[in-house]
Structure 1
Amino acid sequence: MGLDPKKYFIIIPALFGNGESSSPSNTPKPRNGSRFPDCTFYDNVRAQHQLVTEHFGIEHLRLVLGWSMGAGQTYQWGVQYPDMMDGLIPFCGSPKTSPNNIVFLNSLEAALTADAAWHNGWYDQQPDVGLRAFARVCSGWGLSAQFYWDEAWRQLGYATLDDFLVGFWEGHFLQRDANNLLTMLWTWKHGDVGNTTGFGGDTNKALGAIKVPLIQMPAHEDRYFAPEEEKRAGEFIKGSEFREIPGVWGHFAGIGANPTDTEFIDRAVKEILGGSE
C-alpha cells in the first residue's frame, strides 16, 4: 500500500460545500442555504494550505493526489504552490472543466431544480424527486457503456440493473443535501487553473508553472474527464507522465470500486513516494 498511515501523515481535507466542511447545510444564517458563497478550487486549496502550514506546521508535502474534484485540486496545488510538494498524482480529473463536462453539470442542475419542492433552495424538506433525477443522470455518465454491457454492477452485489440504479445511485444521492450538491457543481463547473492569480486565465501557462513530477491518470472511457483532454493538458506540463487506467469502470476507476484499478493507481503512488525518499 503506497499511502501507508504507519509511515506517512495523511491529510484528507473536506471540500467546501460537501457537508463535512463549511457548507450550505451547516453554515449559520444569513449565509446558509442558497446564500452560501460560491467557492473555487483556488479557494479550497488556499484554505488547505493554511490548514497544512499554520495548523499542522508543515512546510513541505511528499505528495498531493486526488480523485475527480480532488484531482482538480491536485492540479491547483501544483500551480498555486509549485514548491510545496515532491509529486502530484491527479486521477480521473482535469485542470480545467471541459465544455462537454459543463453540459453534464448543467443537466444535473436542471434535473435537481425542476422539482417543485426545490423552492429556489429554501426547501423545508429535501427535494427527493429532484435528487432521484440527479442520480439517474449521473448513472448514465459515471460508468462506461461496457460496464453496463458486462453487467459489472453484479460485482458490487446487485442482482438486477434496477437494483443498482435505485439502490446504489438513488440511495447515495437521497442522503445528500441539495444545496450542498449545487455548491459543489458550481465549484466543479468553474474549475480552471488558469484563473490562479498571475496567469490571467491562461490555462496552458498555468500548467507550465508546475515544477514537480506529475503522473496524470485518467480512466478509460471516463465520460466526465476524457483521457484525450488530459493528454493535451499534459503537453504543457514539464516532466508529466500520462497513464490511462484501463478497464470498464470509467470514472469509478479511481474510487476504489475494484481492486485492479486501485492497484494500478497504487503503483504510481509507490513510484513517486519511493523516488522522493
Structure 2
Amino acid sequence: MTIDYEIFELGDFALQNGAILREAKLAYKTFGSLSAERDNAIIYPTWYSGQHYDNEWLVGRGMALDPDRYFIIIPNMFGNGLSSSPSNTPEPYNAARFPRVTAYDNVRAQHRLVTEHLGISHLRMATGWSMGALQTFHWGAMYPDMVDLLAPFCGSAKCSRHNFVFLEGVKAALTADDAFRNGWYTEKPQKGLRAAARVYAGWGFSQSFYREELDLKTLGYASLEDFLISFWEGFFLPKDPNNLLAMLWTWQHGDISANELYNGDYKAALGAIKAKTYVMPGETDLYFPTEDSQNEVASMPNARFVPIPSIWGHFAGGPGTNPVDVKFLDEKLKELLAS
C-alpha cells in the first residue's frame, strides 16, 4: 500500500497514568487547504480498529466535509497500527508491554499536532463515529474555547457500564486462544480473532437488521453464515490482537471527566462544552443507546439530540455501509456547518 499519510513526531510523550510513550508517533492525513484566515479546519478522529482510510467515506466534493471548502485532519488513534501501537513500537514496550493510553492522551497529542505542527489555533468542527465520537466529546470538554461545532455520532462521552461488559466479551474471545500466549504470540491467534468477530456480530447490527435479512437482501451475502465469515471474520482477521486490546482498554476507560480538569465530575465536564453540538446516536445502536445520548444532551448548554433513524444499529454511523444513513449524516453535518 502506498503511504498516503504523514507522521508527527511527538517525542517522549507523557501519558495520563504517568508512563512515557517513548518516541511517540501520530499518523495523520489531511484533505483540502487551510484558508488564509486559518479558520476552516475540521478534525475527524478514527474509531476502534479503524485507520484514516476507513474515515474517508465521509469526505468528498459536494459533501459536508468538502476538501474544496475545509481543511480536514484525520488523526489516527494510538493503538491502530499506524500511530504508536503495540504492533509497531520497538522493544521493550512492544506487544503486551505497550502502555495504557486514554482518549484524553489521544486528544492531547492531536492538540499538539493541530497547534504546534499545523499552526492552527481554532477548529471549525470536531466530528467522529464511535470511538471517534468519544474523542470528539473530549475535544469539546478539554478545549472548550477552541472548537465552534461538535458532531459526535454513534458514540458517547463516557463508556457506560453495559458497554464495558460487552467489551469484556470481546477481550475474553481474543485472549482465550492458546496461540495468544499472553500477548507474546508468534503466529496469528486466528481462533481468537474469529471468536471476537462472532461476539461483535451480535452487537454491530440491530435485531431489526437481522430480522429484515439486510445482510442478504442489501449487502448481498449468500447466507447468515457467509455474512459471519466474510463480513465479520474478514473484518477482524487482518487486525493485530494486541492493537485491538490496547484500543479496547482506551474505549473502556473513556470518560471526558477522568482528568485533572474535571476530577470525575461528569456533569461538569458536559456542562463545560461550549460548542454548538449535534449528538447523533443511531436509533437502534446496541452499544450507545439513545437514552445515553439524551442524558448527555441534558447536561450540555448548547446541544441538540439528533437521532439517526436507522435499523442498521451501530453501523448507521459508518463506515459508509448504508447510503441512506450516509445521506442523513451528511445533511445534518451540512446543517450544523451552515449554522
Q: CA deviation at 1:197?
A: 2.1
**Which structure 1 residue ranges, 5 or more long, are not aligned?**
none
CA distance in 2 between counterparts of 1:245 and 1:261 reads 7
Q: CA deviation at 1:157?
A: 2.6
Match of 1:264 in 2: 328
Q: CA deviation at 1:207?
A: 0.5
Alpha-carbon displacement from aligned partner over 1:218-260 (angstroms, at most 9, x marks no partner): 0011111111111011111001000111121000000011111
CA distance in 2 between counterparts of 1:270 and 1:30 reads 46
Q: Which has the higher helix share?
A: 1
Moved over 2 A (4+): none
1:22 aligns with 2:84: yes
CA distance in 2 between counterparts of 1:86 and 1:198 reads 20
SS at match of 1:229: helix
- Give, as a single letter, the amino acid of the residue that structure 1 aligns with 2:81: G
**Residue 80 of structure 1 contacts residue 196 of structure 1 at CA under 8 Å; is this kept in 2?**
no
Q: CA RMSD in A?
A: 0.8
Alpha-carbon displacement from aligned partner over 1:176-217 (angstroms, at most 9, x marks no partner): 000000001000000001113221111111000000100000
Match of 1:4 in 2: 66
1:142 aligns with 2:198: no
Q: Which has the higher strand share?
A: 2
Alpha-carbon displacement from aligned partner over 1:12-44 (angstroms, at most 9, x marks no partner): 000100111110000001110000011100000
CA distance in 2 between counterparts of 1:56 and 1:268 reads 28
1:206 aligns with 2:276: no
**Paired residues for 1:28-107 under 5 Å:** 28-107=90-169
Task: State which drifts further: 189-198 or 153-162.
Answer: 153-162
- Give, as a single letter, the amino acid of the residue that structure 1 aligns with 2:230: G
Q: CA deviation at 1:271?
A: 1.5
1:229 aligns with 2:229: no
Q: Percent identity?
A: 57
Match of 1:167 in 2: 230
CA distance in 2 between counterparts of 1:237 and 1:165 reads 39
1:194 aligns with 2:257: yes
Match of 2:47 in 1: none
Alpha-carbon displacement from aligned partner over 1:111-157 (angstroms, at most 9, x marks no partner): 11011111000000111000000000000011100100111113223
SS at match of 1:77: helix
CA distance in 2 between counterparts of 1:18 and 1:249 reads 25
Q: CA deviation at 1:5?
A: 1.0
Q: CA deviation at 1:169?
A: 0.3
TM-score by length of 2: 0.80
**Residue 196 of structure 1 contacts residue 206 of structure 1 at CA under 8 Å; is this kept in 2?**
no
Q: Which has the higher contact order (CA 8 A, sep 6+)?
A: 1
Q: CA deviation at 1:6?
A: 1.4
